[in-house]
Amino acid sequence: MQGGGAERRPIELEAGWQYMGDGIAKLKRILEGDKSEAFTAEHYMMLYTTIYNMCTQKPPHDHSEQLYARYKDAFQVYIQEKVLPSLRDHHDEHLLKQLKQRWDNHKIMVRWLSRFFNYLDRYFIQRHNLHPLNDVGLLVFRDHVYAEIKRASKDSMLKLIESEREGEQIDRSLLKNVLAIFQEVGMGQMECYERDFEEAMLKDTAEYYRRRAAVWIQEDSSPDYLVKAEDCLRDEEERVNSYLHVSTKPKLLKEAENELLKVHQMQLLEKEHSGCAALLRDDKKADLARMYRMFNRLPKGLDPMADIFRKHVEAEGMKLVREATEAAESKKEKEKEAGKAAKEAGSSSPENQFIRGTIGLHDKYMEYVQDSFGNSSLFHKALKEAFESFCNKQVASASVAELMASFCDNLLKKGGSEKLGDEDLEGVLDKVVKMLAYISDKDLFSEFYRKKLARRLLHSTSASEDHEKGVLTRLKQQCGAQFTSKMEGMVSDLQLAKEREKNFEEWRERKSLGGGMDMNVTVLTTGFWPTYKQLELGLPDVMMQGVEQYTQYFDESTNKTRRLSWQFTNGTVHVKATYDKSYELIIMPLQAAVLLPFNDSELMSYGDLKELTKLPDEDLTRCLASLTLSKYKLLAKEGGGKGISPSDSFRINAKFTDRMRRIRVPLPPVDDRKKVQEDVDKDRKHAIEAAIVRIMKSRKALKHQQLLVEVVQQLQRMFAPDVKVIKRAIDSLIERDYLERDANDQQLYKYLA
Amino acid sequence: MAPKRKRAATVASPKKASKDLTKLDTLFNAYKDKGSEEDVIGPDGVEKLCRDLKVDPSQREVLLLAWKMGAKRMGYFSRQEFRDGLSDLGAITIAQLRKVLPRLPLEVQDSAALDEFHRFAFSFCLTEPGQKIIDSEMAAQMLPLVLPEGRFVPQFCTFLTEQKDYKKVNADQWANFLRFSREVKADLSNCEDNPAWPLLLDNFVEYLRQHDEAAT
């Protein structure tokens, strides 16, 4: 170069390019592996400066444009000369390796050349809106190398992937690197990767699993198939994490899941010996859990499975219903033949077994929902629907509501069920109350429970006050305060009774009243307690005296503001009776009225007793049966026939004996199931009317359908109102001028203040 | 709850008007209940009136006449009612009244008038003060008189007498039947479009469907 002088002569293009060309050639040699070559700092500076000068010369010696073009050419030449031939020479995995190496080389070349030609980047490209040098380099590779080699590369990669699926080890990092190329040539977009690799890969995958699944579905049981499917999916996920781009994951899994799970879903579920229903039957919890996991991957994939689950639980429940009904009926047959009087259901009765079975069923399948079915709300719903369907059926001609109340009665009364420890008892009671949620006629349960509670409280047969209170608290929590208000009133009445006791005694002392007999009176607040049959009873004088005294006391203490009416159908009387030895008999007032006259007379006919006791036939018959035909034969019957007939006569049974001194002679109640239903229906009618009035008062005007919806909603906590009954209530309220129909819109009701 | 009446103003000179009134009074007195203290034509008088008019007391025209008079009690016409009714019809003699009677059915061809007449028929059956319901039997007898050509009328009347759920019919159910017979098609295809029919009519639909099945 000529130095010195103020004015430098401009570098000619060809001269300058010659110099550059040498430098480029040196670079190529280095890339080809020549270790003897290297760029000194000085050489690098010279190359840079040459470019700089050629670009800063005044036109027509400003060679920026040509240099830019020749920069690009440099790559193209090298690619044609060395890169492409080499790639064409290699195949399969070797091709990939070559490609990786050539790419790395290219990047080095771009780095160096762009440093030499750097000055172009500063002004020229910006002024003319061109690609920067780095990009030019990449684009050349993309358009000349990548474009030619992409197909073969892709095929090689897919072959490797398939062999990996078949179990062979492959060079994962190689794949990762080559795929990096596919991504980098996208220049910030994933287009090349997706179009030139991913698309084919997904199709390949789908095809691969389609073939496999078709074989497996024929040969394997559902659990075995699902094990394989799970493994495959796990593999694919690992594959993506290892060498594919993260964006491929959802697409890849979708393809695999589709072929493995979706296509064969119904077949897998419905296989006769290993499908979902079969697994439920055989209690295969782990297999079901896997099935759940697998189908959970599909959108809405769990719906068919939840449906099968529901049907299964429902069938199991219906089985319990059938078994209990059949057992109860055959028991009734046997009892009828033996001529026995109706016994109260013991703890092992079919009815109680049904409740216990239902609780067990619930526990079992709730565990399934929690453990195997991921606590999924879909399966919770299926369980709920299954229970709702069979818990509202009739079992042995009783509603499940009634059976539940009887079951609780058994647990809470003295001498009832098996000996359960306190904790266990609490647990069972807790579960029973929870089951109440499945019963739509909750008010029916409430009625039956209330009646039995009353009996336990009044006959002091309740085993534990704490347990009683516990159940009431739980019921209140579950169903609201209104549900338990009457029952709580009953319990508090009893507590009050104790106080009244004291006052009564004091009153008697003050009046110096003696005589009568020892008696405890419990005053029941009407409304809280079930309504009992009002009977006039002819009691022995000694008892009547006490009754009259108390009535007097009560009238005085309440200033005649309340009226007392005596319920002789409840209560207990302790009678000392001497047969072969002294016994204490615990009996009901009705029975006492029948028994005590025998103090005065040895033989009494049915008619005599009827006159004395003033009892109607059905009650008298019941009493006599309990004293003559049941476990404790205190009286002897004279007269043919198995049952009690008006032509019979009675006398004390001289042969009576028992090893116990204290005997409770039960008088089985007439649990009028029909009456309870009638009472409940009546209450419902009032509840519906009250609800309608409440709703209309606040809304002023409401369309018919809307009113129905709101009424149902307000009452659903207690029962499911029948549409017809609601309509009847509406009609009645219109008649009584609470509501009217709008003159213009027949479906609109208006509230009349 | 007497409907607003359109009074046909007889444009006559005051003198003629009062002459007519006197004629009407005389006519009224001819049928008036002699024995009672009230100023009414009683059942016997009504019967006599019908004979003179050459109609049967159970005929529709008589009910229409009662409607025209605004009669409050079945079987009785008060003086005012008699006066108002007949002058409305422009009849002051029996002969004129006899001529007018056959034209009465025409007055209720218009649906608004029929509504009024239908409502009137219900309240006409009420006997005690504060009463709001009539016997189903009575309703079944009344209905064909009021709606001789109404759809479903014969079936409904049979149904009313046969069914046991409702021994009485109230004003709402009565009014809704007229609507029902107008709106619901003979094949019952559109009766579910309206869910707000009184329960009595729902039962009626069930009854019709059962009978249809039995017939086919």
pLDDT at A3: 47
**Beta-carbon separation of B172 and A747 below 8 A:** no
pLDDT at A5: 43
Is A516 in contact with A544 (CB distance < 8 Å)?
A: no
CB under 8 Å, gap of 24 or more: what pairs does A179-185 form?
A179/A243, A179/A244, A179/A245, A181/A99, A181/A100, A181/A103, A181/A146, A182/A146, A182/A150, A182/A153, A183/A245, A184/A138, A185/A138, A185/A141, A185/A142, A185/A146
Nearest residue, CB atoms, B199 vs list A703, A704, A727: A727
Q: Which two tokens stand for residue A446?
A: 């409430």
Nearest residue, CB atoms, B172 vs list A724, A735, A747: A735
**Contact map slice: A 589-618 vs B, CB within 8 A:** none
pLDDT at A516: 62
What is the share, in percent, of chain B residues with pLDDT greater than 90? Answer: 3
**Residue A291 CB partners (closer than 8 Å, separation 6+):** A222, A223, A226, A268, A269, A276, A279, A305
pLDDT at A297: 93
**Contact map slice: A 680-709 vs B, CB within 8 A:** 703-705, 708
**Beta-carbon separation of B172 and A724 below 8 A:** no
| Residues across chain B | 216
Closest CA to A255 of A268, A243, A240: A240
DSSP for A356-390, written as a single string: HHHHHHHHHHHHHHHHTSTT-HHHHHHHHHHHHHH
Answer yes or no: is pLDDT of A316 > 70.
Answer: yes
Predicted-complex ipTM score:
0.78
Q: Please compute the mean of the pLDDT values over residues A12-19 and round it to a whole number.
A: 84
Higher pLDDT, B22 or B14: B22
pLDDT at B94: 86
Neighbour count for residue A677 (Cβ, 10 Å): 16
Which H or E run includes A297? none
Neighbour count for residue B174 (Cβ, 10 Å): 23
Q: What are phi and psi of B160, to 5 degrees?
A: -60, -40
Q: Please compute the mean of the pLDDT values over residues A141-161 and round it to a whole number.
A: 92
Nearest residue, CB atoms, A724 vs list B176, B195, B199: B199
Q: Which two tokens stand for residue B7?
A: 């009074």
Is A635 in contact with A627 (CB distance < 8 Å)?
A: yes
Task: Write the pLDDT tens digit of every residue in A343-395.
Answer: 555 567 888 889 999 999 999 999 999 999 999 999 999 999 999 999 999 88
Q: Which two tokens stand for residue A711?
A: 């009424």
End-to-end CA distance of chain A: 114
Q: Please compute the mean of the pLDDT values over residues B29-56 and round it to a whole number.
A: 84
Chain-centroid distance of CA A234 in Å reads 28
What is the share, in percent, of chain A residues with pLDDT greater than 90? Answer: 42
User: Residue A465 to residues A409, A422, A475, A486: CA-CA distances in angstroms?
Assistant: 13, 12, 15, 17
Answer yes or no: is pLDDT of A470 > 60.
Answer: yes
Q: What are phi and psi of A572, to 5 degrees?
A: -130, 150
Interface test with chain A among B199, B202, B204, by most A beta carbons within 10 Å: B199
Q: Please compute the mean of the pLDDT values over residues A311-330 and round it to a whole number.
A: 92
Answer yes or no: is pLDDT of A118 > 60.
Answer: yes
Q: How far is A724 from chain B (nearest CA, A)?
A: 7
Closest CA to A76 of A145, A152, A153: A145
A744 and B CB contact within 8 Å: no
Q: What are phi and psi of A527, to 5 degrees?
A: 105, -45
pLDDT at A337: 78
Q: Is the peptide bond before A589 cis (omega within 30 degrees of 0)?
A: no
Binning pLDDT at 50, 70 and 90, where does residue B1 land?
Answer: very low
B177: nearest CA partner in chain A: A746
Q: What are phi and psi of A293, to 5 degrees?
A: -60, -45
Answer yes or no: is pLDDT of A4 > 50.
Answer: no
| Type of residue at A648 | D
Q: Please compute the mean of the pLDDT values over residues A262-285 and round it to a whole number.
A: 91
User: Residue B109 to residues A213, A503, A595, A749: CA-CA distances in angstroms?
Assistant: 78, 80, 80, 29
Answer yes or no: is pLDDT of B41 > 70.
Answer: yes
A209-223, A245-259, B154-168 — which is least confidently predicted? B154-168
B183: nearest CA partner in chain A: A746
Burial readout A320-341 (b: 16 or more C-beta within 10 A, e: otherwise): bbeebbebbeebeeeeeeeeee
Q: How far is A678 from chain B (nearest CA, A)?
A: 17
Chain A / chain B CB contacts < 8 angstroms: 35
Answer yes or no: is pLDDT of A579 > 80.
Answer: yes
Task: Write the pLDDT tens digit of every residue in A604-645.
Answer: 888 888 888 888 888 888 888 888 888 888 888 887 777 888
Binning pLDDT at 50, 70 and 90, where does residue A201 land?
Answer: very high
Task: Write the pLDDT tens digit of every residue in A709-746.
Answer: 999 999 988 899 999 999 999 999 998 889 998 888 88
Exposed / middle / buried, residue B145 (Cβ in 10 Å: 0-12, 13-18, 19+): middle
Answer yes or no: is pLDDT of B35 > 60.
Answer: yes
pLDDT at A637: 86
What is the share, in percent, of chain A residues with pLDDT greater than 70? Answer: 97
**Beta-carbon separation of A741 and B200 below 8 A:** no
Higher pLDDT, B5 or A567: A567
**Reduced to 3 states, what is the DSSP secondary structure of residue A254?**
helix
Count the helices and strands in chain A (H runs, E runs): 32, 11
DSSP state for residue A9 in the 8-state scheme: P
Q: Which two tokens stand for residue A176?
A: 């990762």
Which H or E run includes B149? none
User: How much of chain A is in helix, strand and coil states, percent to nearest 5?
Assistant: 65, 5, 30
**Beta-carbon separation of A708 and B195 below 8 A:** yes
